[in-house]
């Protein structure tokens, strides 16, 4: 009987590729064309979501450990936002919020 192994198996070393150079087909990242421009979209699993975020689509909190979507314009990493997945898919259908007074006519 061989002795028990107390250390984890070593994983292969990562290459010198930066995050931008990695192959998109190997990750959950995709590229989507929209009217505003080209977006990079990444699906986040619940286990990798470590802090809460505010969804720009519904202005509600995305709790910790909740699967969601991260999207940003391809040329502007600063525009990266965390969305509920359903809010991201329905954002083209959403109308701008207009606040009306109580007696305003309906159109």
Q: Summarize pLDDT for 1-34 with one digit per residue, the tens.
A: 666 667 666 655 554 444 444 444 445 889 999 8
Tell me whether residue 96 is in a domain. Answer: no
CB 104 within 8 A of CB 98: no
Tell me whether residue 101 is in a domain. Answer: no
Tell me whether residue 73 is in a domain. Answer: yes
Tell me whether residue 31 is in a domain. Answer: yes
Q: Count CB-CB contacts under 10 A for residue 103.
A: 5
CB 35 within 8 A of CB 56: no
For the entire predicted model, the pTM comes to 0.62
Q: What is the DSSP letter of 9?
A: P
Q: Please report the pLDDT score of residue 36 as a whole number.
A: 85
Q: Summarize pLDDT for 36-66 with one digit per residue, the tens.
A: 889 999 999 888 888 999 999 999 999 999 9
Please spell the DSSP secondary structure of 40-83, one letter per residue: EEEEE-GGG--S-EE-TTT--EE-TT--EEEEEETTEEEEEEEE
Tell me whether residue 6 is in a domain. Answer: no
Domain that holds residue 49: 26-90
Tell me whether residue 37 is in a domain. Answer: yes
Tell me whether residue 102 is in a domain. Answer: no
Tell me whether residue 53 is in a domain. Answer: yes
- What tokens were used for 50? 């470590």
């Amino acid at each position: 009987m061989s002795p028990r192994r107390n250390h984890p198996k070593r994983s292969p070393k990562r290459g010198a590729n930066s995050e931008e150079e990695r192959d998109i087909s190997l990750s959950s990242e995709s590229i989507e064309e929209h009217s505003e421009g080209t977006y990079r979209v990444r699906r986040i699993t619940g286990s990798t979501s470590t802090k809460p975020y505010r969804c720009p689509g519904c202005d509600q909190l995305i709790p910790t450990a909740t699967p969601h979507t991260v999207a940003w314009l391809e040329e502007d990493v600063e525009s990266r936002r965390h969305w509920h997945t359903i809010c991201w898919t329905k954002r083209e259908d959403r109308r701008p919020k207009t606040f009306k007074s109580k007696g305003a006519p309906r159109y």
